Amino acid sequence: MNKTIFLTAVIMGVLAIGLGAFGAHGLEKLVDADSVATFETGVMYQMYHALFLLILAGFVKISERSKKLVFYLIMTGVLFFSFSIYLLATNSLTTFDFKTIGFITPIGGLLLILGWIVLGYRGFRNFN
């Protein structure tokens, strides 16, 4: 699982850099400044959690089963949170109204919080 977590973190980081560059250099010509700022929030949280997963991959104080749970919570959280933000920020560029799926953004945020809590709880339990 550690290899999977590590590779996923690297891919998430690469995507965050690419999306951040797009947001800074391409998106500003297509949407308003508020939408660009919203998009950048999604990128920021994606990068934070890519780094989180890099740390998780090497963390030895919790079991592989716990790492797997944290990994799934964080990945689902990033997909729901960051990617819904990307869609909401670019809503004006499509015919589909992504505001109808905006309810998944806070669900994603909750999953990210739960991932941190599970890591904290399971990690803290194993410190001597």
**Structure confidence by residue, pLDDT tens digits, 61-95:** 899 999 999 999 999 999 999 999 999 999 888 88
pLDDT, the chain, mean? 93
Q: Of 82, 74, 92, give the one whose Cα is nearest residue 40.
A: 82
Q: Of 123, 127, 122, 114, give the one whose Cα is nearest residue 49.
A: 114
Q: What is the mean pLDDT of residues 36-63?
A: 94
CA gap 111, 97 in Å, rounded: 24
The share of the chain scoring above pLDDT 90, in percent, equals 70
* Token pair for 39: 């998009």
The residue ranges of DSSP E strands in 1-128, in sequence order, are: none
pLDDT tens figures, 94-110: 888 888 888 999 999 99
Close Cβ partners of 17 (under 8 Å, ≥ 6 residues apart):
47
pTM beyond cutoff 0.85: yes
Cα Rg of the chain (Å, integer): 16
| pLDDT score recorded for residue 128 | 66
* Token pair for 48: 């934070």
CA gap 56, 2 in Å, rounded: 8
